Structure 1
Protein backbone atom coordinates (compact mmCIF):
# COMPACT_ATOMS: atom_id res chain seq x y z
CA UNK A 1 0.00 0.00 0.00
CA UNK A 2 1.41 3.41 -0.94
CA UNK A 3 1.48 6.34 1.53
CA UNK A 4 -1.32 8.92 1.37
CA UNK A 5 -0.94 11.67 -1.20
CA UNK A 6 0.54 14.87 0.23
CA UNK A 7 0.15 18.34 -1.25
CA UNK A 8 1.42 21.66 0.10
CA UNK A 9 0.12 25.08 -0.98
CA UNK A 10 1.69 28.38 0.02
CA UNK A 11 -1.18 30.87 -0.10
CA UNK A 12 0.43 33.64 1.96
CA UNK A 13 1.16 36.08 -0.90
CA UNK A 14 -2.29 35.88 -2.52
CA UNK A 15 -4.93 38.61 -2.15
CA UNK A 16 -8.30 37.73 -0.58
CA UNK A 17 -10.39 35.75 -1.36
CA UNK A 18 -7.91 33.72 -3.43
CA UNK A 19 -6.39 31.77 -0.48
CA UNK A 20 -9.81 30.49 0.59
CA UNK A 21 -10.89 29.67 -2.96
CA UNK A 22 -7.70 27.73 -3.72
CA UNK A 23 -7.72 25.98 -0.34
CA UNK A 24 -11.31 24.79 -0.75
CA UNK A 25 -10.66 23.64 -4.33
CA UNK A 26 -7.62 21.66 -3.19
CA UNK A 27 -9.52 20.18 -0.24
CA UNK A 28 -12.40 19.14 -2.49
CA UNK A 29 -9.89 17.30 -4.71
CA UNK A 30 -8.38 15.29 -1.82
CA UNK A 31 -8.59 11.53 -2.12
CA UNK A 32 -9.45 9.43 0.95
CA UNK A 33 -6.40 9.39 3.20
CA UNK A 34 -4.87 12.36 1.39
CA UNK A 35 -3.16 15.18 3.28
CA UNK A 36 -3.12 18.86 2.37
CA UNK A 37 -0.85 21.44 4.03
CA UNK A 38 -1.88 25.07 3.63
CA UNK A 39 0.32 28.03 4.52
CA UNK A 40 -1.99 31.00 5.02
CA UNK A 41 -1.37 34.70 5.80
CA UNK A 42 -3.15 34.36 9.17
CA UNK A 43 -5.15 31.79 11.12
CA UNK A 44 -8.18 31.28 8.82
CA UNK A 45 -11.08 30.55 11.18
CA UNK A 46 -13.78 30.73 8.44
CA UNK A 47 -11.78 28.36 6.21
CA UNK A 48 -11.25 25.93 9.08
CA UNK A 49 -14.99 25.84 9.74
CA UNK A 50 -15.80 25.25 6.07
CA UNK A 51 -13.29 22.39 5.91
CA UNK A 52 -14.79 20.80 9.03
CA UNK A 53 -18.28 21.21 7.56
CA UNK A 54 -17.04 19.11 4.63
CA UNK A 55 -16.14 16.32 7.09
CA UNK A 56 -12.38 16.82 6.87
CA UNK A 57 -9.95 16.53 9.77
CA UNK A 58 -8.27 19.90 10.36
CA UNK A 59 -5.44 21.06 12.59
CA UNK A 60 -3.91 24.52 12.60
CA UNK A 61 -0.99 26.29 14.18
CA UNK A 62 0.20 29.86 14.20
CA UNK A 63 3.70 30.40 12.88
CA UNK A 64 6.18 32.90 14.28
CA UNK A 65 5.66 35.52 11.58
CA UNK A 66 1.87 35.63 12.13
CA UNK A 67 0.94 33.28 9.33
CA UNK A 68 -0.51 29.82 9.90
CA UNK A 69 -0.05 26.21 8.84
CA UNK A 70 -3.31 24.34 8.35
CA UNK A 71 -3.21 20.59 7.83
CA UNK A 72 -6.23 18.97 6.23
CA UNK A 73 -6.85 15.25 5.94
CA UNK A 74 -9.61 13.31 4.30
CA UNK A 75 -10.29 10.50 6.75
CA UNK A 76 -10.14 6.85 5.79
CA UNK A 77 -13.27 4.82 6.42
CA UNK A 78 -16.89 5.78 6.75
CA UNK A 79 -16.92 7.47 10.17
CA UNK A 80 -16.39 11.19 9.82
CA UNK A 81 -16.85 13.59 12.71
CA UNK A 82 -15.34 16.72 11.13
CA UNK A 83 -13.58 17.69 14.33
CA UNK A 84 -10.08 16.45 13.57
CA UNK A 85 -7.25 15.52 15.88
CA UNK A 86 -4.78 17.91 17.45
CA UNK A 87 -6.76 20.96 16.49
CA UNK A 88 -5.49 24.24 17.86
CA UNK A 89 -7.33 27.29 16.61
CA UNK A 90 -6.48 29.68 19.43
Structure 2
Protein backbone atom coordinates (compact mmCIF):
# COMPACT_ATOMS: atom_id res chain seq x y z
CA UNK A 1 0.00 0.00 0.00
CA UNK A 2 1.33 3.46 -0.91
CA UNK A 3 0.13 6.65 0.74
CA UNK A 4 1.19 9.89 -0.99
CA UNK A 5 1.29 12.65 1.63
CA UNK A 6 3.00 15.25 -0.57
CA UNK A 7 1.42 18.68 -0.57
CA UNK A 8 -0.15 18.23 2.87
CA UNK A 9 0.70 20.41 5.85
CA UNK A 10 1.57 18.95 9.27
CA UNK A 11 0.03 17.21 11.09
CA UNK A 12 -2.02 15.76 8.20
CA UNK A 13 0.70 13.40 6.88
CA UNK A 14 1.29 11.91 10.33
CA UNK A 15 -2.42 11.52 11.07
CA UNK A 16 -3.08 9.87 7.67
CA UNK A 17 -0.14 7.52 8.18
CA UNK A 18 -1.18 6.40 11.66
CA UNK A 19 -4.76 5.91 10.50
CA UNK A 20 -3.64 3.79 7.54
CA UNK A 21 -1.45 1.66 9.82
CA UNK A 22 -4.49 0.81 11.96
CA UNK A 23 -6.09 -0.87 8.94
CA UNK A 24 -3.10 -3.16 8.27
CA UNK A 25 -2.46 -6.62 9.64
CA UNK A 26 0.73 -7.47 11.51
CA UNK A 27 3.64 -7.83 9.11
CA UNK A 28 2.01 -5.84 6.30
CA UNK A 29 3.83 -2.84 4.86
CA UNK A 30 2.82 0.73 4.16
CA UNK A 31 4.97 3.06 2.08
CA UNK A 32 4.42 6.75 2.60
CA UNK A 33 5.80 9.57 0.48
CA UNK A 34 6.31 12.89 2.28
CA UNK A 35 7.65 16.26 1.20
CA UNK A 36 9.95 16.28 4.23
CA UNK A 37 11.44 13.85 6.72
CA UNK A 38 8.64 13.08 9.23
CA UNK A 39 10.67 13.67 12.41
CA UNK A 40 7.67 13.55 14.76
CA UNK A 41 6.41 10.30 13.23
CA UNK A 42 9.55 8.30 14.02
CA UNK A 43 9.17 8.35 17.84
CA UNK A 44 5.52 7.29 17.46
CA UNK A 45 6.50 4.38 15.21
CA UNK A 46 9.23 3.39 17.67
CA UNK A 47 6.77 3.50 20.59
CA UNK A 48 4.36 1.22 18.70
CA UNK A 49 7.16 -1.19 17.74
CA UNK A 50 6.92 -0.70 13.98
CA UNK A 51 10.01 -1.07 11.77
CA UNK A 52 10.72 1.49 9.07
CA UNK A 53 13.20 2.32 6.34
CA UNK A 54 13.74 5.86 5.04
CA UNK A 55 14.92 6.69 1.53
CA UNK A 56 15.44 10.21 0.26
CA UNK A 57 14.18 10.57 -3.30
CA UNK A 58 15.84 12.48 -6.13
CA UNK A 59 13.20 15.22 -5.91
CA UNK A 60 13.95 15.80 -2.20
CA UNK A 61 10.89 13.95 -0.93
CA UNK A 62 11.13 10.97 1.40
CA UNK A 63 9.77 7.45 0.92
CA UNK A 64 9.32 5.61 4.21
CA UNK A 65 8.39 1.94 4.20
CA UNK A 66 6.78 0.90 7.48
CA UNK A 67 6.31 -2.71 8.53
CA UNK A 68 3.47 -3.04 11.04
CA UNK A 69 4.39 -4.76 14.27
CA UNK A 70 2.03 -6.87 16.28
CA UNK A 71 1.13 -10.33 17.41
CA UNK A 72 0.37 -12.61 14.49
How many residues are paired up?
Answer: 72
Aligned-residue offset at 1:39 = 0.2
Question: Larger Rg: 1 or 2?
Answer: 1
TM-score, with length taken from structure 2: 0.86
Aligned partners of 1:33, 1:16: CA distance in 2, in Å? 27
Q: Which has the higher helix share?
A: 2
Q: Aligned-pair distance for 1:77?
A: 5.4
The aligned residue for residue 50 of structure 1 is: 44
Distance in structure 2 (CA, Å) of the matches to 1:48 and 1:60: 10
TM-score for both structures, normalised by structure 1:
0.71
Shift of 1:75: 4.0
1:68 Cα shift? 0.2
Larger RCO (CA within 8 A; separation ≥ 6): 2
Structure 1, unaligned runs of 5 or more: 1-6, 79-90
